[in-house]
Chain A
Amino acid sequence: MSAYEIIQTGTAAGLPVPATPRNVPNRGGPANPSAESLKAEFGSAVTRVEVVCGETNVYIEPTRAGEIVKWLHDDAGQSYEYLVDVTAVEHRDRDQPLEVVWHLRSLKFRRFLRLKALLPKGKPLSVPSVWPVYKGADWLERECYDMFGITFEGHPDLRRILLWEQYAEGFPLRKDFPLRGRFSRAEQLRQALSANPEARYSMEELSIADAFEELPLDMRARIRGGEATGE
């Protein structure tokens, strides 16, 4: 039995041929039917539904994001197989909460759904990880953590992905982060140059487990010792 399931989409699934939508209003219009199903299934966990430029935004309780995404993925009537993006938004207005945004796409029903969870300022920024549902969320959530400092509960390996791991200046896409960073240029360069670019070799990341015996002796010893120094 194959581990993969072939998804019948579009006309193969009995859906009509889609037409390019014309004259889509900025606000309002027909919402994605999944929004109604979400309201029926999760009740008060769905706080608001809005339609912007023909796309549906569903605001949800941050604490329940994990189970809502799992239901959207698993339920036969929703079938959101594809996680397009996980990202976050911080607005210029200081009092407005941070938004964590999930973009979901259903290939089967040709639907697009945007989930948003609001994280108020002044509290720990934390949402459940959707990694148990979509393995592709791994690096997306790491990037989101790297740039905004949002903790994804349940992520298997939540560490910086773009910046080096000892980066101490904060989270660059937050509005209170100065464009040039917090340290002087000389200090930034000093920290960057003292980082070891070969640090963090791990079997999984480099897929070298098979070729382990062919590695140089010192690298073998380092990996065996579980070394992750430097960076």
Chain B
Amino acid sequence: MGLTAKPQPNVVSVDPTGGEGWITTRLDFLVNWGRSNSLWPMPFGTACCAIEFMASAASKFDLARFGMERMGFSPRQADVLICAGRVPFKLAPVLRRIWQQMPQPKWAISMGACASTGGMFDTYAMTQGIDTIIPIDVYVPGCPPRPEALIYGIMMLQKKIMKEQMSNNSLRDEFEADPTSQLYIPVSRIDELSEPFGNSVQQTRSGM
């Protein structure tokens, strides 16, 4: 009667009297365990981060240990999009379309400073963070991040997947882009995300 707490999303509960039953939580665990340990990446390498990404996949760091056995260069057989490198505006519709071509369940990792924030490229040609184009699960900082950093980001993603619940399906909803503008987050938030920071404030003037 109003005193029972609503089940927290992203919390696995084994209390049979709670909102989640024992069977569903065990099934959640099994499904999430399977998903998180067989992530197939879709590499979207556009710059130097892709070099570190290749190193992560190669023998010394060996992403295959984490279930990323297969690099899929087709978005239709991939689970996690790893955007490694800067994305200029001309590539924005391409990235958006690749994301839309990936089947659910799907996740995205933004690798490096440029993909996450625009980085040093605070210019007319560069998107200031790919989260203005597609939803991102994990941001990996670094310029470029070392393979250890990327692997840490992937392990964070695996932890995140382990907390997913079948009863809460909202994570799997496709976002609805505004049909006229193709944007999926409000204009004001894009401008806020793209606010310059650091020394780049000084570069606004054109000198004329």
Contact = CB atoms under 8 A, between A and B. Distances in A.
A140 interface: no
Contacts of B124: 169, 172, 177-181, 188
A194 B182 contact: yes
Given A175-B206, A189-B183, A189-B190, A197 B93 contact: yes
> What's the dominant secondary structure at chain B's contact region?
loop
Nearest to B208: A176
Given A172-B125, A186-B183, A188-B89, A193 B96 contact: yes
Contacts of A177: 124, 206
Contact of A192 (B90, B123, B187, B206): B90
Interface in A138-180: 162-164, 169, 172, 175-180
A117 to B, nearest CB: 22
Contacts of A163: 90, 125
Interface string A182-196: 001110111111111
A175 B208 contact: yes
Interface string B145-157: 0000000000000
Nearest to B90: A164
A190 B93 contact: no
B191 A186 contact: yes
B124 to A, nearest CB: 3
A172 B89 CA distance: 14
B168 interface: no
A94 interface: yes
B97 interface: yes
A179 B204 contact: yes
Contact of A179 (B123, B127, B181, B183): B123
A123 interface: no
A121 to B, nearest CB: 11
Interface string B107-142: 000000000000000111101100011000000000
B204 A178 contact: yes
29 contacts: A94-B208, A164-B90, A172-B125, A175-B206, A176-B206, A179-B124, A179-B203, A179-B204, A180-B122, A180-B123, A180-B196, A180-B203, A180-B204, A181-B124, A185-B132, A186-B183, A186-B191, A189-B89, A189-B190, A190-B181, A192-B89, A192-B92, A193-B92, A193-B133, A193-B182, A194-B93, A195-B93, A196-B93, A197-B97
Ranked nearest first, the 4 interchain pairs of A and B with the lowest CB-CB distance are A181-B124, A185-B194, A192-B89, A193-B182
Interface of B: 89-90, 92-94, 96-97, 122-125, 127-128, 132-133, 177, 181-183, 187-188, 190-191, 193-194, 196, 203-208
Interface of A: 92, 94, 162-164, 169, 172, 175-181, 184-186, 188-197
